[in-house]
Amino acid sequence: MYILLIILIILILFELYTLLLQCRKGHPRWKFLRLWRYAHRGYHDQPQIPENSMAAFRRAVAYHYGAELDVHLMRDGHLAVIHDASLKRTAGAEVLVEDLTAEELKQYRLEGTEERIPLLEEVLPLFEGKTPLIVELKSERGNYNELAEAACAVLDRYRVAYCVESFDPRCLRWLKKHRPEIVRGQLSGNLLRDGQGSGQSKLTLFLLSRLLMNFLGKPDFIAYNHLDRDNISLRWCRKFYKVQEVSWTVRSKQKMTALERDNCLVIFEKFDPRGE
């Protein structure tokens, strides 16, 4: 009797685990998106070509790569293409991008160059009819719904192939409810170690690292730190839900080749994927 009860409990827990990891299968747009490698924050080359700059995105298109980029929602509703909320690292300014307007953003320059921090609406025309984008939504101060809605409104204005990803599953939940046709992806990795998802509790970071909040957004792909691929939840998503894995951030051709043999899409930086 006790053995049967233990087996029943194990089966229930296994079913719950599988439900928490839910992904969406077989989005038709993957047929095109799988054809590309993606340059991380554009095909940058510091110090001459800063990350997430117009020059980096032009270079990605010129070399026939897709690009990954990051967007923040600013005070006036515009979307800035920049990774950090703070401009300290990239522009040497003690200011948060969410507190700025598009006009105020123009005064800052990237990494000592003449490159400005671009708006999403400035970047998208570069990719129209050309290579695709991975758009990462960087939610701050609980603005996940407003950010997702604003990004979709801008993306709708341009003929660009793209998918959307975020560390915040609430962004994906908004997409699932309001824009189910968009390819959406859950970003993750060892978040407790890496400090991603700042402002989140340790419990939330633990759940996100193990993809146990997938049920909120039912992602089409999992974008996972390639250094942490031994994660059992990631392996189960691939095996059971047949979800696409996207590997970030790859910094050698050897690693890229190994990941592509395992059917991963690659987000790369700091090397030429076509080089020897």
Torsion of CA 122, 151, 241, 223, to 10 degrees: 50
Count other C-beta atoms under 10 Å from residue 187's C-beta. 26
**Residue whose C-alpha is closest to residue 162's, from 234, 98, 71, 74:** 71
Distances (CA, A) of 251 to 109, 172, 210: 26, 28, 24
Q: Exactly one of 27, 40, 44, 72 is catalytic; which is it?
A: 40
Q: Exactly one of 72, 78, 83, 226 is catalytic; which is it?
A: 83
CB 96 within 8 A of CB 86: yes
Does residue 83 have an active-site annotation? yes
Q: How far is the C-alpha of 182 from the C-alpha of 161, rounded, in Å?
A: 10
Does residue 78 have an active-site annotation? no
β-strand partners of 246: 223, 265
Helix (H, G, I), strand (E, B) or coil at 142: coil
Q: How far is the C-alpha of 166 from the C-alpha of 169, rounded, in Å?
A: 7
Tell me the chain's radius of gyration from C-alpha atoms: 19
Helix (H, G, I), strand (E, B) or coil at 95: coil
**Residue whose C-alpha is closest to residue 136's, from 63, 186, 65:** 186
**Are β-strands 66-73 and 79-81 bridged in parallel, bridged antiparallel, or unpaired?**
antiparallel
Count other C-beta atoms under 10 Å from residue 17's C-beta. 14
**Active-site residue set:** 40, 83
